Amino acid sequence: MSPVRRCSRTACGRPAVATLTYVYADSTAVLGPLATYAEPHCYDLCAEHSERLTAPRGWEVVRLTDGSAPARPSGDDLEALANAVREAGRPQGRPAEAQNGRRTADPLEVARRGHLRVLRSPEN
């Protein structure tokens, strides 16, 4: 027997990610995270079938989310990410150049060794 539980839908062999239970007394279909073990009156569903699940007319579908699953990004999250990418892509101001075309040191820069810089504390 395979350790991976499969979708209960006919002719679907994808791995199960959610468990469906019907509560007949409340006319409710409860779709939650995959149960720890298979029960005879519950149905294991793959991701595609759990997303497309509909209940009989007059029934309510309750979808329980797994707290460990990552939440989908909201519009605000995507906008903040886009703004951060735009800001990082903006060209930085060109360093000040002296008369001979040589770059002047940053006023906070004390020493330089290769690509590393030693900076003075801004308080001094």
Mean pLDDT, the chain, integer: 79
Phi-psi region of 41 (alpha: psi -120 to 50; beta: other; left: phi over 0): alpha
Range name among 32-36, 78-82, 84-88, 117-121 with the lowest pLDDT average: 117-121
The confidence band for 50, taking pLDDT boundaries of 50, 70 and 90, is very high
Please say whether the beta carbons of 95 and 104 come within 8 A.
Answer: yes
Q: Is 20 exposed, middle or buried (0-12, 13-18, 19+ CB in 10 A)?
A: buried
pLDDT digits (tens, 9 = 90+) for 83-123: 888 777 776 655 554 445 555 555 677 777 776 777 777 66
The model carries a pTM of 0.52
pLDDT at 98: 47
Q: Which helix (H) or strand (E) holds 75?
A: helix 75-89
* Highest mean pLDDT of the ranges 1-15, 40-54, 79-93, 94-108: 40-54
